[in-house]
Amino acid sequence: MKKYIWLLSILGIVFFTACGSSSKEAKELQTKQLKLIGIPQDIVANICQDDNTNGICESTELQAKVSFNQGDSMETVWSKLTLTEEGRYLLETYDPTKPLLLELKDRKSSYFTETFTLPFDGLKESENEKELSILQSMIDKDVLVPQNVNSARVMKNVDDFYKVLLDNLEENINILKGKGLTTKQAVAGNINEMAEELITNGIENTIPAKMNACNGESTCVKSVLNTLSTELILTDAEANTISGNAEEEDDGQVINPNPNQGKIDRAEYFPTHSVTKTFTTKSKNPYQEESVSSYSQTISKNNNTLTYQNQDSEDKSYSTATINSNNIVVKWTNVDYDNNKYTINRYLEQGDTTWNWTYSYKNEQATTDVVYTCEVDNKLSSFSHGGYKYTGDILVEKCTVHSKSTYLIDNKSDTIESSTVWYEYTQKGIGQIASISDICYDDRGIQQNSQGCTPNGYMYTYLVQ
């Protein structure tokens, strides 16, 4: 079997109570197969027949749970998900036409780790097998038809396509949850919007043709799917539209369409256009007088992604910040970090954490572990320091970094720990304008910014305007 295709079905012998024993006896117990396509087996939380069509797996409904518990009765065990040697499962039911629900919980997801449910139509009397997949959920909701996706289902590297589809679905759920929608509303809105994007981007012919033309070459496949993924991820405008169309729950409960109203939008504190910025850095420690240096940074803006690269340096590393509807994803390229990606919440209040990032890197002398944290400290209308003055909407973040370096010298190890506190200043529409750090060096020359220490050094960086 391919990596992202698992065949599943349910083996359950559960008697319905709603219709009475006489109606059950009048119906024939049927055996059907369910197969799960493009969704990892380990994220399946439950599968059930939706007996009362309320979109929830309830204890009185025929269902299958993934895990077994010690002390389960034989009746309970038979109603749970059981993997056979062939990797196929059977659904034993008196009425296969009832809707099906697939509950998923992706604990390893980078985007959404709560439980969400994909709804499906039941099986027709003439059908012996039912596919449970994101594509089939779209078909069952009448936003796709089988001929839309027949070619995609058999294209080369279809496993990679399914993985992107699942990741995008989870990210979009998270985006819509941030707009105040319930998980159920978010899934429904996603199914519609993603289906439209698949059709627009050529799921019938164009995408399968491009994937097949790659002939399995990983860089080519990744390029095709990255382009598709960009289209599938909701823009802020699309998310607002979906949110506006789903303001009420089925029970009439009003949902706040804009839960981020009044919060700080971190995206507003990035440059609004491509620009090259020049910075001056002043630094001093107990062993030398103040030194002054400068560097330039080129920031290229392409749609919602900004790329940062320092000039006047042989360093080929660079970083990108991609602004999504509800978060900002920062990536580093050509660096030695073991963790080169971090997600920041986009909407913030004072005291909220913007960064809580850990990473490690190695060189010939040492292995260093770093814990880096920042939080929203203040908002200012002006800021001046060291002869530089800035006026505008300025966001202040208080940051700390704690590092632990382990050295191996002559087969003996030594550990050095240091900590630094600094304040980062970013201006709306401009980005970084200053970084201010008053540093406490201990008698070994190591930075130790413990509470109440007297600074005997500093590092100040200013944007030259």
d(CA 327, CA 352): 14
Amino acid in the structure at residue 6? W
Residue 367 β-bridge partners: 362, 406
Tokens for 208? 């399968």
**Dihedral of the CA atoms 53, 58, 61, 64 (nearest 10)?**
120
How far from chain centre, in Å, is Cα 118? 19
Closest by CA position to 35, among listed 2, 14, 77, 5: 5
Contact 114, 137 (CB under 8 A): no
Contact 428, 268 (CB under 8 A): yes
Tokens for 275? 């620009």
DSSP 222: H
At 84 the pLDDT is: 45
Residue 246 CB contacts under 8 Å (≥ 6 apart), including other chains: 181, 185, 188, 189, 255
Answer positive or negative: Cα dihedral of 438, 443, 445, 447: negative
Contact 343, 356 (CB under 8 A): no
Closest by CA position to 98, among listed 130, 65, 76: 130
Amino acid in the structure at residue 375? E
Contact 185, 176 (CB under 8 A): yes
Contact 64, 80 (CB under 8 A): yes
In the three-class reduction of DSSP (H, G, I as helix; E, B as strand; rest coil), residue 191 is classed as helix
At 258 the pLDDT is: 56
Closest by CA position to 318, among listed 328, 327, 326, 308: 308
Q: Per-residue confidence of the chain (465 residues) as pLDDT tens digits?
A: 333 333 333 322 222 222 233 344 446 778 888 888 998 888 888 888 888 778 887 766 666 554 444 554 434 433 444 444 333 556 777 888 889 999 999 988 888 989 999 999 999 878 888 999 999 999 999 888 898 999 999 999 999 999 999 999 999 999 999 988 999 999 999 998 999 899 989 999 999 999 999 999 999 999 999 999 999 999 988 888 888 877 444 444 444 445 677 889 999 999 999 999 999 999 999 888 999 999 999 999 988 899 999 886 676 788 999 988 788 999 988 877 777 888 888 889 989 999 888 888 787 778 888 898 999 999 999 999 999 999 999 999 999 999 898 887 777 778 888 889 999 999 999 999 999 999 998 888 888 887 778 899 999 999 997
**Global pTM value:** 0.49
Q: What are phi and psi of 302, to 5 degrees?
A: -130, 105
Residue 179 CB contacts under 8 Å (≥ 6 apart), including other chains: 239, 240, 242, 243, 257, 258, 259, 260, 325, 326
At 340 the pLDDT is: 82
Contact 212, 156 (CB under 8 A): yes
Domains of the chain (ranges plus CATH)? 21-244 (no CATH), 266-463 (2.40.360)
Closest by CA position to 264, among listed 375, 182, 103: 375
Helix or strand run (H / E) with residue 397: strand 388-409
d(CA 303, CA 273): 10
At 88 the pLDDT is: 55
Contact 80, 62 (CB under 8 A): no
